[in-house]
Amino acid sequence: MKDTTPIAKTASRRPKPAARGGRPRRRKLTFDRVTFFLAFLGVPLAIFVIFVLIPFGEAIFWGMTDWRGFSPDYNFVGFDNFTKMFQDDVFLKALRNVALLAVFVPLVTLTLALGVAVAITLGGPSKGPVRGIRGASFYRIVSFFPYVVPAIIVGLIWAQMYDPNAGLLNGVLTGLGLDRFDTFAWLGEKATAMPSVMFVIVWGLVGFYAVLFIAAIKGVPAELYEAARIDGAGRLRTTVSITLPAIRDSVQTAYIYLGIAALDAFVYVQAMVPNGGPDNSTLTISQRLFNVAFAKQQFGYATAMGVVLAVVTLVFAALVFLVNRLTGGGEGESKRKAPGARARRAAAKGGAG
């Protein structure tokens, strides 16, 4: 009904035929359209603003107060929380641990994931069209397994694997004749606690990134590989000269999100070493924040730690971008397919939070 009115009106005014064309969308604000916009944009945005945006904003303010939660009183203390934090040995230790995680976890995970992806996609015979290795889907399914197991369960499984007495790891090692591992406490020794935690995070994440890279490599036009083969390039050469540059943006995105995951690491450490490990050697900022907030009720101080964690995260992301740019990647290509790149970024994060 209402759709016919504008036509009736214009018809009565007898416009020149040219004036009618060329406008694909009517901008008329009908009741239908107003409610449509309100519902479609308003409801999701309201939830997002209330539960994400406002808390993020408040965090920055509260980080500068000495608020302790259940009383309404607080003082504005400016940057005192931050100076206190950087004199707090436990926090500094956590910061150092988290930096280690952010360096090694993405590096090892991506190396392994790339190794798996290259082996699966390019492991086939080098004659004819590019083929995957035999049993590719078997390997792909298996390596993705840990990703679907809840992270807390991954942590619990490995906490048992590492158990000094009942754990399988020591069982295997003593079985191989290495008696000194009879009751070795992997998570209880300062030297091994952190590497052990890192290994578990890597174990849980490799499969996802391998599948991501497999998809990226399959997206490389096959002619590129065939042309390189005809030109006599070997496997190493094709990997270095074709595969890596082609999936560079995927690697960058993966690096950033792995870094973010490693900077958090809360689930894994809570499952394996909830007390922060020997001499706090596996304590993370997230754990420290959680205890300071919900056990000690120092909400202002805890939020300030959240701010530092956010800054560290952003600095990390900026560093990865910078390194990628300096070594000649990115930009030109990422502009061309901006929406895809964003969706890929979203996919690399692999779900909510």
Partner 1 sequence: MSVVAADRKTASDREPAKDRKLTRVAAGGDRRFAAISHALLILWSVIVIVPMLWVLMSSFKSTGEILSSPFSLPDHWRIENYANAWTDASIGKYFLNSVIVVVSALILVMLLGAMCAYILARFEFPGRRLIYYVMLAGLTFPVFLAIVPLFFQLQNFGLLNTRLGLILTYVAFALPFTMFFLYAFFRSLPHDVYEAALIDGAGDWRAFFQVMLPMARPGMAAVAIFNFLGLWNQFLLPVALNTDQDKWVLTQGMAAYASSQVYDIDYGALFAAIVITVVPVLIVYCVFQRRIAGSVSQGTFR
335 lies in the binding site for partner 1 (CB under 8 A): no
178 lies in the binding site for partner 1 (CB under 8 A): no
> Distance between CA atoms of 137 and 130, rounded to whole angstroms?
16
User: If you write DSSP's letter for every residue of 130-171 in order, what string do you get?
Assistant: --PPTTHHHHHHHHHHHHHS-HHHHHHHHHHHT-TTT-HHHH
Task: Report yes or no: 349 and 257 within 8 Å, Cβ to Cβ.
Answer: yes
User: Closest separation between CB of residue 120 and partner 1, Å?
Assistant: 7
Binders of partner 1 in range 223-242 (CB under 8 A):
234-235
User: Closest separation between CB of residue 290 and partner 1, Å?
Assistant: 7
> Which one, 119 or 244, has the nearer CB to partner 1?
119
Binders of partner 1 in range 247-306 (CB under 8 A):
250, 260, 263-264, 266-267, 270-271, 274, 285-286, 289-290, 293-294, 299, 302-303, 306
User: Closest separation between CB of residue 308 and partner 1, Å?
Assistant: 9
User: Closest separation between CB of residue 313 and partner 1, Å?
Assistant: 5
User: Closest separation between CB of residue 62 and partner 1, Å?
Assistant: 6
Return the residue of 7, 222, 314, 322 that touches partner 1, per CB under 8 A: 314
What is the contact mask toward partner 1 in residues 71 to 110, using x (rule: CB under 8 A)?
----------------------------------------
User: If you write DSSP's letter for every residue of 172-232 in order, what string do you get?
Assistant: HHHHTT-GGGTT--TTTSHHHHHHHHHHHHHHHHHHHHHHHHHHHHHTS-HHHHHHHHHTT
User: Closest separation between CB of residue 64 and partner 1, Å?
Assistant: 13
Q: Which segment (10-18, 41-49, 100-108, 182-190) binds partner 1 by CB under 8 A?
A: 41-49
User: Closest separation between CB of residue 328 and partner 1, Å?
Assistant: 22
Residue 293: which of 48, 73, 52, 81 has the closest Cα? 81
- Return the bridge partners of 76, or none: 65
> Distance between CA atoms of 148 and 207, rounded to whole angstroms?
10
> Distance between CA atoms of 61 and 65, rounded to whole angstroms?
7
> Distance between CA atoms of 197 and 277, rounded to whole angstroms?
10
> Which one, 83 or 160, has the nearer CB to partner 1?
160
Structure tokens at 119: 């082996």
Return the residue of 165, 295, 332, 336 that touches partner 1, per CB under 8 A: 165
> Distance between CA atoms of 220 and 208, rounded to whole angstroms?
19
What is the contact mask toward partner 1 in residues 181 to 220, using x (rule: CB under 8 A)?
----------------------x--xxx--xx-xxx-xx-
User: Closest separation between CB of residue 167 and partner 1, Å?
Assistant: 8
Binders of partner 1 in range 2-31 (CB under 8 A):
3, 24, 30
> Distance between CA atoms of 353 and 340, rounded to whole angstroms?
21
Binders of partner 1 in range 109-128 (CB under 8 A):
112, 115-116, 119-120, 123-127
> Distance between CA atoms of 234 and 229, rounded to whole angstroms?
7
Return the residue of 11, 15, 28, 58 that touches partner 1, per CB under 8 A: 58
Task: Report yes or no: 283 and 277 within 8 Å, Cβ to Cβ.
Answer: yes
Q: Which segment (72-80, 103-111, 167-175, 178-186) binds partner 1 by CB under 8 A?
A: 167-175
Return the residue of 6, 15, 44, 221 that touches partner 1, per CB under 8 A: 44
Chain centroid offset of residue 167 CA: 30
Task: Report yes or no: 267 and 284 within 8 Å, Cβ to Cβ.
Answer: no
User: Closest separation between CB of residue 326 and partner 1, Å?
Assistant: 21
Residue 120 half-sphere exposure, CB side, CA atoms within 13 Å? 25
Q: Cα 159–154–292 angle (5° rounding)?
A: 75
